[in-house]
Amino acid sequence: MSTATDKKPATMAQALQRAMRDAMAEDPTVHVLGEDVGTLGGVFRVTDGLAKEFGEDRCTDTPLAEAGILGTAVGMAMYGLRPVVEMQFDAFAYPAFEQLISHVAKMRNRTRGAMAMPIVVRVPYGGGIGGVEHHSDSSEAYYMATPGLKVVTPATVEDAYGLLREAIACDDPVVFLEPKRLYWSKSDWSPEDPAPVEPIGKAVVRRAGSSATLLTYGPSVPVCMEAAEAAREEGWDLEVVDLRSLVPFDDETVCASVRRTGRAVVVHESAGFGGPGGEIAARVTERCFHHLEAPVLRVAGFDIPYPPPMLEKHHLPGVDRVLDAVARLQWETER
Amino acid sequence: MSTATDKKPATMAQALQRAMRDAMAEDPTVHVLGEDVGTLGGVFRVTDGLAKEFGEDRCTDTPLAEAGILGTAVGMAMYGLRPVVEMQFDAFAYPAFEQLISHVAKMRNRTRGAMAMPIVVRVPYGGGIGGVEHHSDSSEAYYMATPGLKVVTPATVEDAYGLLREAIACDDPVVFLEPKRLYWSKSDWSPEDPAPVEPIGKAVVRRAGSSATLLTYGPSVPVCMEAAEAAREEGWDLEVVDLRSLVPFDDETVCASVRRTGRAVVVHESAGFGGPGGEIAARVTERCFHHLEAPVLRVAGFDIPYPPPMLEKHHLPGVDRVLDAVARLQWETER
Amino acid sequence: MTVQELPGAAAYRPTPPPAWRPRTDPTPLLPDPEPFRVLGTGAELDRALMLKLYAELVRGRRFNAQATALTKQGRLAVYPSSTGQEACEVAAALALEERDWLFPSYRDTLAAVARGLDPVQALTLLRGDWHTGYDPREHRIAPLCTPLATQLPHAVGLAHAARLKGDDVVALALVGDGGTSEGDFHEALNFAAVWQAPVVFLVQNNGFAISVPLAKQTAAPSLAHKAVGYGMPGRLVDGNDAPAVHQVLSEAVGRARRGGGPTLVEAVTYRMEAHTNADDATRYRGSAEVDAWREHDPIRLLEGELTARGLIDEDGIRAAAEAAETMAAALREQMNAEPTLNPMDLFAEVYTAQSGQLREQADQLRAELEAEAR
Amino acid sequence: MTVQELPGAAAYRPTPPPAWRPRTDPTPLLPDPEPFRVLGTGAELDRALMLKLYAELVRGRRFNAQATALTKQGRLAVYPSSTGQEACEVAAALALEERDWLFPSYRDTLAAVARGLDPVQALTLLRGDWHTGYDPREHRIAPLCTPLATQLPHAVGLAHAARLKGDDVVALALVGDGGTSEGDFHEALNFAAVWQAPVVFLVQNNGFAISVPLAKQTAAPSLAHKAVGYGMPGRLVDGNDAPAVHQVLSEAVGRARRGGGPTLVEAVTYRMEAHTNADDATRYRGSAEVDAWREHDPIRLLEGELTARGLIDEDGIRAAAEAAETMAAALREQMNAEPTLNPMDLFAEVYTAQSGQLREQADQLRAELEAEAR
Ligand SMILES: Cc1ncc(C[n+]2csc(CCOP(=O)(O)OP(=O)(O)O)c2C)c(N)n1
Ligand SMILES: Cc1ncc(C[n+]2csc(CCOP(=O)(O)OP(=O)(O)O)c2C)c(N)n1
Ligand SMILES: [Mg+2]
Ligand SMILES: [Mg+2]
């Protein structure tokens, strides 16, 4: 085992690349395909070097057609391969929706387990990078509402590696949501000595606290961490839970935290109405009702189409909005 | 005005047909398009007779391509028409997902109001008709999570007419969800003298009650009405709220009811996880927390791909499952 | 040499005009103006193959009739009959080797059965007791596919994967005339041609997509002409001439197997029955048209020619009919048996392992079932 | 007579083989093997049109350069340059009448500007201060479209609607070589041909979809050959020969206007710059290829021929350059002005009327902004 001094700052994009690289090196059935993933290494350079190292048959620039990409991946999986598909941006995964919903999600079930779909669909998602329209959607609600899919999203460099390794190893289809604005986030991390890979389906307490729980994931995790720091000034000791896996949902970790703190705020970038927060708030309330001092509140993107770059800062849930919600947690009713 | 004696039993399918017919007669810009909507009158006969009465240019059999249907409808709307699109079954609307999400829902917003999208997308949805796979999906969660769309679903013959008229008259795009298994439900109703049309966005109390509120819509409304009758035996007087419009959501009617009864169960056919019930339960809890004697519970389809015909009865929320949930509303904590 | 480097793949690079030329000559890709036919042309016939085709056609026709009858008895939820199209169904099955894959649409139960799949397994979807009634890998038959044209990219992906692995496996994908309008048709054919995947696309042009006639579906000279736009050969065949369909498909499958890439085959045929038992075809077509096609019936055509050539006699015809009757009787009996379903299977294969959430729901259903049983 | 009843629409009915024939002869639909050219062929040139084209090309090139410069100064979020493709952009704009509609892709800002749209409005999307910066109905320019090929069915629907209304309006839709692989391309062309909609599709084949070369995008002889599969004529044109593109598009637009139906035009051209300012083209192509295309530059070609024929002199060339400079200076200045944005507009046009839910959210933002301002 190498020592901590070997660790150098690595970006989330590099960790994702490394996860694919290591998986491809270990398992010849792992294939990467998508638009510009080969020669270019992807528009975010997440597949950089894979075509060179493994050849174009293992990391393939496809024609420009998302349903075709995912549909051929289904066929490849039928023949025993493990395709890792890159969708170039969130909104450009929509053309593949029918393939995802009607085939990828259902194949195992409709064949009574005879035909697994070990496909990873990597989707760079969310805003905050100044992208023009259709480049910043948070589409997780669509995937969460689809039985048969697993939905995973990392918030740290370590998790990016670990979760993607797990997703590729998983025999179920995984929609792997990559927070675009964290691609360049860094951590001291050694690709030679990655942290042990955690199985999909476990949330993690990123910051322990006692006053209230922030339930969040992906791009909103750093926002919540910052909010928790800022909240100390107000006298609140906030716990931050990074869900990591939206499906399956880790009721245990989440409910344990909320039962302890008695208050919770769900924070995400996706539109609030019909978004993941509704499910999360509802199931926490169902399970922890008598522990709750206040309703579970939600801080989310507004219920509007994603705004243009110059206005996105007003849309994205930031520290202040999180703190506002925390303030509305009916502290006056304190036990 | 005709008298009540003129009224004859009419089916929901007939009321929907009549709504389109009347809208087309009044407004020459209303056009119907879809697969088999012309000569055949649709696989559910909902567009029966429209091509004959208004010609094939007004009610058009399109090529078999859902993105093409909705995409051309967008262009027709750009030129001032009001297209009413029929998707043949729920799962066959998925190929049009990108057009719906990236264009139909966003067009008004991205053009700062210059270009409205007065399109109705009619989607027969839900199960209970013995359909083979891909013919019984409840896809409302996808539409609800998409800002810019209105989402409407009738549960009665009268509402089928009234809501579809309103949807066609509406300058915003409306996903109009038609509960397949209610197509042949009947009511004494006269097409010559339809009830006054109610604006989109209003829920309705279908049955007044005082013990608890059932929040439901579409195909689950009759189930809840039946459950409410059965509940009388248990001593519960249940209120049934038919949401009718999922977007916009009628917080007022819903919350007034829940505040009155102090208990609520959301009932729908769609999978529970990530389904509409999460949003509904969460917003009711946010708004009525201190009126709640128990958490808002959910009765929903299981979190599985829609089952084959012979097993669907085990999946669909029925009266017993609704009553079970009502029984779990912590009556022992009665004030 | 990787697949991506094979000729036909990444090598071509356009140059500026005036030197610029189309990448290839389109002429060899264009279908002949007349659908290829064998029957009535005096071509030599392989007797064993012809008798096999004939027996399967007769069996297939009987199968269609029996399945339609089963819908009336409530034994099938629905049945989309391929009556009139048996030549395509049977030839598709027989043109493949055992290691090859078939990608049927929802209308192609017969092709699966002609390939050897147990009829009850093949009819599971339409019976309504589960979705796919067989193990696709065991039979190399993809699930009967309801969302139109969506199985075409699967066929391409599978064929591509087989080729990458070095297996000489071919995928044959079936689609209707209506299905060619879907985006997935386009994307599948394009991927197949770019990757030179060993896949054959068979369009059964039966004149209708439910009620919509071909004229409202396409303005193309023929559906086979679409091939040129992908850079693959298009072939037209008389879809009611079983030896002709078999020959065209066999050639295309052989070419694909030898690394020659994909082919688009259009079989001109006709759907003699309604779209399914639930449809009423009189709403959208007249009997004169149906009658004209009845004259061109695939069984009649083959039987006539075999008889005329002395390749079959009355005994042979009777034997085929009797074999078909035996099959039908067995099918009736099997389908009359009440299927045994376990509702708990609903939760069994949603994921590899059951999540806590699904376990809770399974427990709920189990409790309900137990309460009911009490 | 309704549109549905027009010849070419629902009339065709297939008959059983052997009488069966393709619906139409494909030959007239096939593009010529050589891209159509005007420059260097000795063809007669309309001086006024040539000078107009030339002025617009020069202006367009300068516009591209200025816009790219603005990205470096942070005044644009992103700019996909059409440098090298100006002949297509300009000819597309000039081939249309005022009542016609243009459906640009995200790369076609220049076509919109050449049509007369205010450059600042045209650049609004790419500047990042709102999505679409103009009223599409006022200018008959659909929003610059980012999801590839999705605007093609819109063009078909609009053209169809205009025709139903009896207006002689034509829609011209632009798409890239990469975009032709999308299902929406297929569905749009098919609908257009079946409906005989007055629409023209212009594929700017610039050799790349970001990093993916044409060879990995299609195996077709040419993209124009796709036309035959829809039953519409395909035309190939040298996309760097402005008079040629103008002529081919004008003919197609005229044909569409006269009820002759849609046309697919492929313009062979080259993207001289990177995909956008954010792209690094050296990762996927060598300079030799770029240099070869530089020899075939659209401005150079036109200027050379006009000079050789004495249709333009040094003064004319200088005047065009100066006009372009003036435009660029004005654009710089306008784009340097800080745009005034009202965050409350986020909620303004989500729906016709603001729902209670959005009003609550608007109130929240308003309160936040007020708190910030304090
Ligand atoms: C994506 C999709 N859209 C719509 C349908 C509904 N549908 C089922 S069969 C059919 C017609 C199919 O026609 P064709 O492709 O010609 O096949 P055929 O029925 O003639 O065999 C339609 C519209 C579907 N199954 N899938
Ligand atoms: C549906 C969709 N998928 C992917 C993208 C991302 N993307 C933007 S431009 C581009 C390449 C487009 O190539 P081409 O159509 O040839 O147009 P060009 O850029 O050459 O003008 C891609 C893949 C997109 N905008 N839309
Ligand atoms: Mg057909
Ligand atoms: Mg290009």
CB contact under 8 Å between D211 and A304, yes or no, is: no
DSSP per residue, D87-123? HHHHHHHHTS-TTSEEE-BTT-HHHHHHTT--HHHHT
- What is the rounded distance in angstroms from the CA atom of residue A154 to the CA atom of residue A245? 8
Q: What pLDDT is stored for residue A8 in this prediction?
A: 81
Exactly one of D284, D285, D296, D332 is catalytic; name it: D284
What's this model's pTM, rounded to 2 decimal places? 0.98
Please indicate whether residue C79 is annotated as part of the active site.
no
**Under 8 Å between Cβ of A109 and C131:** yes
Q: Is D287 in the pocket of ligand 2 (CB under 6 A)?
A: no
CB contact under 8 Å between A142 and B144, yes or no, is: no
Contacts of C11 (CB under 8 A, 6+ apart): C5, D215
What's the mean pLDDT in B1-15?
73
Strands A245-247 and A150-152, bridge-based pairing: antiparallel
pLDDT tens-digit profile of A248-303?
999 999 999 999 999 999 999 999 999 999 999 999 999 999 999 999 999 999 99
What's the mean pLDDT in A33-60?
98
CB contact under 8 Å between D2 and B56, yes or no, is: yes
Q: What pLDDT is stored for residue D2 in this prediction?
A: 57
Q: How confident is the model at residue B165 (pLDDT cuts 50, 70, 90)?
A: very high
- What is the rounded distance in angstroms from the CA atom of residue A326 to the CA atom of residue A293? 12
Distance (angstroms) between ligand 4 centre and the Cα of A85 equals 22
Rounded to 5°, angle at Cα D346 from D341 and D348:
105
Q: What pLDDT is stored for residue B195 in this prediction?
A: 75
Contacts of A103 in chain C (CB under 8 A): 147, 150, 154
Q: What is the ipTM of this complex?
A: 0.97
Nearest CA to ligand 1 atom 11: C209
Q: How confident is the model at residue D7 (pLDDT cuts 50, 70, 90)?
A: very low
Q: How far is CA B136 from the centre of its chain?
A: 14
Structure tokens at C117: 């799949």
3-state secondary structure of A253: helix
Measure in Å the smallest separation between the Cα of D307 and chain C Cα atoms.
20
Q: What pLDDT is stored for residue A333 in this prediction?
A: 59
What are all long-range contacts of A56-59, with beta carbons under 8 Å and residues at least 24 apart?
A56/C2, A56/C4, A56/C5, A56/C10, A57/A31, A57/C2, A57/C3, A57/C4, A57/C164, A58/A24, A58/A30, A58/A31, A58/A32, A59/A24, A59/A31, A59/A32, A59/A33
Asked if the bond preceding B309 is cis, omega within 30° of 0, the reply is: no
- What is the rounded distance in angstroms from the CA atom of residue B188 to the CA atom of residue B3? 12
Measure in Å the smallest separation between the Cα of D157 and chain A Cα atoms.
19
- What is the rounded distance in angstroms from the CA atom of residue B57 to the CA atom of residue B8? 32
Contacts of C258 (CB under 8 A, 6+ apart): none
Q: How confident is the model at residue A143 (pLDDT cuts 50, 70, 90)?
A: very high
Q: What pLDDT is stored for residue C10 in this prediction?
A: 55
Q: What pLDDT is stored for residue C2 in this prediction?
A: 58
Measure in Å the smallest separation between the Cα of C347 and chain B Cα atoms.
7
Q: What pLDDT is stored for residue D173 in this prediction?
A: 98
pLDDT tens-digit profile of A50-66?
999 999 999 999 999 99
Between the CA of residue C373 and those of A130, A283, B311, C361, C370, what are the distances in Å? 60, 31, 16, 18, 5
Q: What pLDDT is stored for residue A4 in this prediction?
A: 47
Quote the mean pLDDT of chain D. Answer: 95
Contacts of A296 in chain B (CB under 8 A): 282, 285-286
Q: What pLDDT is stored for residue B1 in this prediction?
A: 40
**Under 8 Å between Cβ of D100 and D253:** yes
Residues 153-182 on D with a CB inside 8 Å of B are 153-162, 164-165, 171
The b/e string for A127-157 (b: 16+ C-beta within 10 A; e otherwise) is bbbbbbbbbbbbbbbbbbbbbbbbbbbbbbb
Q: What pLDDT is stored for residue B191 in this prediction?
A: 77
Which of B61, B66, B88, B99 for mutating ligand 1's site (highest number of atoms within 8 Å of CB)? B88
Q: Which helix (H) or strand (E) holds A187?
A: strand A186-189
Q: What pLDDT is stored for residue D12 in this prediction?
A: 80
Measure in Å the smallest separation between the Cα of B56 and chain C Cα atoms.
11
- Least confident segment among A188-197, B242-251, C304-313, D16-25: A188-197
pLDDT tens-digit profile of D257-275?
999 999 999 999 999 999 9
* Residue D210 zone, left/alpha/beta (φ > 0; ψ -120 to 50; rest): left
- What is the rounded distance in angstroms from the CA atom of residue D324 to the CA atom of residue D318? 10
- What is the rounded distance in angstroms from the CA atom of residue C230 to the CA atom of residue D311? 43
The b/e string for D338-352 (b: 16+ C-beta within 10 A; e otherwise) is eeebebeebbbbbbe
| Closest C-alpha to B291, from A265, A298, A335, A295 | A295
Q: What pLDDT is stored for residue D26 in this prediction?
A: 95
CB contact under 8 Å between A112 and C130, yes or no, is: yes
Residues 258-277 on D with a CB inside 8 Å of C are 268, 270
Q: Which helix (H) or strand (E) holds B164?
A: helix B157-169
Regions of chain C with pLDDT less than 50: 1, 7
DSSP per residue, D292-317? HHHTT-HHHHHHHHHHHTTS--HHHH
Interface test with C, best of A111, A144, A174, A245 (most C CBs within 10 A): A111
pLDDT tens-digit profile of A201-239?
999 999 999 999 999 999 999 999 999 999 999 999 999
- What is the rounded distance in angstroms from the CA atom of residue D199 to the CA atom of residue D264? 9
Nearest chain A residue to B136, by CA = A102
Q: Is D179 in the pocket of ligand 2 (CB under 6 A)?
A: yes
Contacts of A305 in chain B (CB under 8 A): 105-106, 109-110, 147-148
Is the pLDDT score of A5 beyond 60?
Answer: no
**Under 8 Å between Cβ of B12 and B184:** yes
Contacts of C131 in chain B (CB under 8 A): 132-133, 308
Exactly one of C257, C284, C285, C332 is catalytic; name it: C284
Q: What pLDDT is stored for residue D13 in this prediction?
A: 80
What's the mean pLDDT in B281-309?
97
Q: What pLDDT is stored for residue C52 in this prediction?
A: 98
CB contact under 8 Å between C351 and A249, yes or no, is: no
Q: What pLDDT is stored for residue D374 in this prediction?
A: 87
- Percentage of chain A exceeding pLDDT 90: 93
Contacts of D357 in chain A (CB under 8 A): 273, 303
Q: List residues, by chain if needed, whose CB lies under 5 Å from ion ligand 4.
A: D 176-177, 206, 209
Is the pLDDT score of A184 beyond 50?
Answer: yes
Please indicate whether residue C270 is annotated as part of the active site.
no
Nearest chain B residue to A145, by CA = B274
Structure tokens at D82: 């059409």
- What is the rounded distance in angstroms from the CA atom of residue B306 to the CA atom of residue B309? 9
Q: What pLDDT is stored for residue D185 in this prediction?
A: 99
CB contact under 8 Å between A78 and C184, yes or no, is: no
CB contact under 8 Å between B39 and C77, yes or no, is: no
Q: Is B35 in the pocket of ligand 1 (CB under 6 A)?
A: yes
DSSP per residue, D1-66? --GGGSTTSTT-----TTT---SS-SGGGSPPSSPB--TTTT----HHHHHHHHHHHHHHHHHHHH
Contacts of C365 in chain B (CB under 8 A): 302, 314
Strands D171-176 and D199-205, bridge-based pairing: parallel
In total, chain C counts a number of residues equal to: 374
Is the pLDDT score of B3 beyond 50?
Answer: no
Nearest CA to ligand 2 atom 21: D176
Q: What pLDDT is stored for residue C4 in this prediction?
A: 55
Q: What pLDDT is stored for residue D223 in this prediction?
A: 98
Which of D146, D148, D205 for mutating ligand 2's site (highest number of atoms within 8 Å of CB)? D148
Q: How far is CA D288 from the centre of its chain?
A: 27
Quote the mean pLDDT of chain C. Answer: 95
Q: Is C148 in the pocket of ligand 1 (CB under 6 A)?
A: yes
Q: Is B97 in the pocket of ligand 1 (CB under 6 A)?
A: no
Structure tokens at C81: 């009959």
What's the mean pLDDT in D103-113?
98
Between the CA of residue B307 and those of B304, C109, D80, what are the distances in Å? 8, 20, 48
Q: What pLDDT is stored for residue A101 in this prediction?
A: 98
Contacts of D369 in chain A (CB under 8 A): 314
Nearest CA to ligand 1 atom 17: C176
Q: What pLDDT is stored for residue C5 in this prediction?
A: 53
What's the mean pLDDT in D330-343?
93
Nearest chain A residue to C189, by CA = A68
pLDDT tens-digit profile of A96-125?
999 999 999 999 999 999 999 999 999 999
**Residue B175, beta-bridge partner list:** B121, B151
- Percentage of chain D exceeding pLDDT 90: 94
The b/e string for D26-45 (b: 16+ C-beta within 10 A; e otherwise) is beebbbeeebbbbbeeeeeb
Q: What pLDDT is stored for residue A167 in this prediction?
A: 98
Residue showing tokens 């042009």:
C205
Q: How far is CA A7 from the centre of its chain?
A: 24
Is the pLDDT score of D4 beyond 80?
Answer: no
Q: What pLDDT is stored for residue D301 in this prediction?
A: 98
- What is the rounded distance in angstroms from the CA atom of residue C252 to the CA atom of residue C246? 10
Rounded to 5°, angle at Cα C79 from C75 and C81:
135
Is the pLDDT score of B311 beyond 50?
Answer: yes
Q: What pLDDT is stored for residue D329 in this prediction?
A: 97
Q: What pLDDT is stored for residue C1 in this prediction?
A: 42
Q: What pLDDT is stored for residue B4 in this prediction?
A: 47
| Closest C-alpha to D114, from D187, D150, D64 | D64
**Under 8 Å between Cβ of C275 and C208:** yes
**Under 8 Å between Cβ of A72 and C157:** yes
- Following CA atoms A73, A74, A80, A85 in sequence, which dihedral angle do they give, to the nearest 10 degrees? 30
pLDDT tens-digit profile of D280-325?
999 999 999 999 999 999 999 999 999 999 999 999 999 999 999 9
**Under 8 Å between Cβ of A63 and D217:** yes
Exactly one of B31, B103, B134, B135 is catalytic; name it: B135
Q: How far is CA A85 from the centre of its chain?
A: 15
Distance (angstroms) between ligand 1 centre and the Cα of C144 equals 13
Ligand with smallest separation from the Cα of A34: 2
Is the pLDDT score of D76 beyond 60?
Answer: yes
- What is the rounded distance in angstroms from the CA atom of residue B310 to the CA atom of residue B307? 8
| In B64-207, beta strands by DSSP E | 82-86, 120-125, 150-152, 174-179, 186-189, 204-207
**Under 8 Å between Cβ of D124 and A304:** no
